[in-house]
């Protein structure tokens, strides 16, 4: 399988969110060439709880999307991720947004992610990495920027993994 560009959204709002995201970023770097967006702070959407820290990672990998998703779920579990209810606060959330131009529709995975263009906490860091990104079923991702302009998001600066 030829390496493709995968985009992964990282988020956390429980415990030491910055440490959890840095740990996840370090784990993802072990899988292949990668780069990260800046780190952002956002209020929860459709939920209660502390603010989230968010970023997006671009990862070049030759894994099948389902294999990558399984690995992401394993990383979440290592950080104590629980799913007591929809939109629950979380120690680590890793969402697979897209893998190349692949379209996947299964009970456990939809690619491109069906809501990636509706949330500033995904859209802004994604566009920082790939401003000209076009995805099947979504089109030119940057075209949705105005749609999320009312969502509060604060850039905290560069996102780096621990040494």
- Domain assignment of residue 163, yes or no: no
Query: Active-site residue 95, yes or no?
Result: yes
Q: Quick one: average pLDDT of 26-36? A: 95
- Domain assignment of residue 70, yes or no: yes
- Domain assignment of residue 162, yes or no: no
Nearest to 123 by CA among 86, 156, 161, 153: 153
- Comparing 19-28, 77-86, 107-116, the range with the smallest average pLDDT is 77-86
Catalytic pick from 41, 46, 81, 86?
A: 81
The predicted pLDDT at position 23 comes to 93
How many structural domains compose the chain? 1
Domain span holding position 39: 4-157
Say which CATH number the domain at 70 has.
3.30.70.560
pLDDT tens readout for residues 35-87 = 999 999 998 877 777 899 999 999 999 999 999 999 999 998 887 756 555 55
Asked whether residue 11 carries a pLDDT value surpassing 60, the answer given is yes
Catalytic pick from 93, 115, 140, 163?
A: 93
- Domain assignment of residue 153, yes or no: yes
Structure tokens at 59: 């990862």
Query: Active-site residue 163, yes or no?
Result: no
d(CA 90, CA 78): 12
Structure tokens at 54: 């968010």
The predicted pLDDT at position 91 comes to 80
- Domain assignment of residue 72, yes or no: yes
- The pLDDT mean for the chain works out to 90
């Amino acid at each position: 399988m030829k390496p493709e560009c995968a985009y992964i959204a990282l988020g956390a709002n429980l415990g030491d969110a910055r440490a959890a995201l840095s740990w996840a970023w370090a784990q993802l770097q072990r899988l292949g060439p990668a780069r990260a967006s800046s780190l952002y702070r956002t209020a929860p959407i459709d939920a209660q709880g502390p603010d989230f820290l968010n970023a997006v990672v671009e990862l070049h990998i030759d894994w099948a999307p389902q294999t990558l998703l399984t690995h992401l779920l394993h990383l979440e579990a290592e950080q104590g991720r629980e799913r007591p209810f929809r939109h629950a606060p979380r120690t680590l959330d890793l969402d697979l947004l897209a893998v190349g131009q692949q379209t996947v529709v299964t009970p456990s995975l939809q690619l491109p992610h069906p809501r990636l263009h509706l949330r500033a906490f995904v859209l802004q860091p994604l566009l920082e990495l790939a401003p000209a990104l076009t995805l099947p079923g979504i089109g030119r991702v940057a075209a949705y920027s105005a749609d999320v302009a009312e969502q509060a998001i604060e850039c905290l600066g560069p996102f780096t993994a621990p040494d």
